Structure formats: structure tokens, C-alpha cells
Amino acid sequence: MGVIGIEEIFLDVEDLDKAIDFYHEKLGIPIARKDEQRAYLQCEQSHLVLQVKNHTGRHRGGGPLHFAFTVTEDSFDEVTERVVGGSLFTRGPMGDRGKGRTLFIMDPDGNETEVNTRYLYGIPRR
């Protein structure tokens, strides 16, 4: 399978300021965007989202953890064929070939796993 790398990880945190201090100040990952409930930290070809536990908004139903893998266009098609319509809960696919496509899949432990092609076309806008 053409998994290129981890595209994103969403982490629930107790204290957003302490988490930002660790990931931004100590590890040096640049902050791309921040609000009261989450901060997006942009790596060269992936990003980390720190979000306050019991937050509202994105990935609220995404299980204990949400993460995404960047895959090639052909691998995206292969994964879609294997999982959509099967026994796993999925959302998507969404998007257009050549512009960035996304498929969300719940893993057996209830974690929301995503495969997408977004980083094939530059850094996605936040």
C-alpha cells in the first residue's frame, strides 16, 4: 500500500497552554492557527492538532483518537474498494481525484482513521 506518512493527529489535552508549551516551545513545531479549544501545529508534511478534552467542533465523534495517513491516489482507490460497503463504518469518500480526497474509517477500537491525498497537492489550508 502506498502510505506516504501520517498526515494528522488530533490529541485531546487537559490544558491547551501546557500542551502548546511542550509541542511548540519545547519541540519547536510552528503554530498555524489557534483558538480557545484547539491549536493547529504545522510540520513540513503533516500537522498536529491539540484540542481541549470535551471540546466542541471537529472530530467530536471521532473516537478516543483521530489520525490520518497520506496515501497515493492509487492506494486511496484500493483502500476505498476494500472498506466501503463492508463491515466497517465509513464516511466518504469525499473530494476529487487530483485535488485531494478523504475517507474516514472507524477502526475496531473506535478510533477514527482517515486516509487522504491532501498532502500530495501542497499543505492544506487551515
Per-position pLDDT tens, the chain of length 126: 578 888 888 888 889 999 999 899 988 899 999 999 999 999 888 899 888 887 776 655 556 678 888 999 999 999 999 888 888 889 999 999 999 999 999 887 677 889 999 888 887 776
Q: Which residues contact 16 (CB under 8 A, 6 or more apart)?
A: 36, 37, 38, 39, 50, 51, 52
Phi, psi of 71 (to 5 degrees): -130, 165
Domain ranges (residues) in the chain: 3-121
pTM metric for this prediction: 0.74
CATH number for the domain running over 3-121? 3.10.180.10
Angstrom distance (rounded) from CA 10 to CA 108: 18
